[in-house]
Amino acid sequence: MPYKIGTKEKPMILKTPPLTSEYTMHVEQKDSKEVLICTVGKTVLFYNIDCIDDLHKMLKKHGVWMELGSADEQKPPKEGTVEAWGRSERNPVGGWYGMKKGLRGRFGMYIPPLMEALGLAEVNT
């Protein structure tokens, strides 16, 4: 994967879609596989790095604007949103892209700004 996302020492700094909060994203090895590490304050989230290519392909196929949605793991996502797709049994990984039990949600909040920074999507705030 040719994406320059950053390291723990020099992470990519991003803003949530309403442009109200900053968070960082970087890549680390975890269990001999690259993983996206999203740090929001003191909270650390892990996402399957395949979500970048998988979401990009889905958005291209979808073709039109798509609501981001964002929900904690314990809350159901709004149907038809990026958040719902990020945990759907019909996505390429067959479920959650979030990897840290209890903190697998918020896919629609933190992954789309990364996609925009990588030139793979456009996020409207």
pLDDT value of residue 18: 82
Average pLDDT, the chain: 93
Domain count, the chain: 1
Among positive and negative, which fits the CA dihedral 47, 18, 6, 81? positive
Domain that holds residue 47: 12-117
Give a yes or no: residue 4 inside a domain: no
> Among the residues of the chain, which ranges form H helices?
51-62, 82-85, 107-117
Cβ pair 40, 91 in contact under 8 A: no
Give a yes or no: residue 7 inside a domain: no
- Segment 21-34, tens digit of pLDDT: 999 999 999 888 99
The DSSP call for residue 77 is P
Give a yes or no: residue 18 inside a domain: yes
Give a yes or no: residue 29 inside a domain: yes
| pTM of the predicted protein model | 0.92
Closest CA to 82 of 91, 45, 23: 91
Confidence check: pLDDT of 86 > 60: yes
The Cα-based distances of 87 to 28, 48, 125 in angstroms read 22, 12, 23
Give a yes or no: residue 20 inside a domain: yes
Give a yes or no: residue 1 inside a domain: no
* Beta strands at 22-30 and 43-48: parallel, antiparallel or unpaired: unpaired
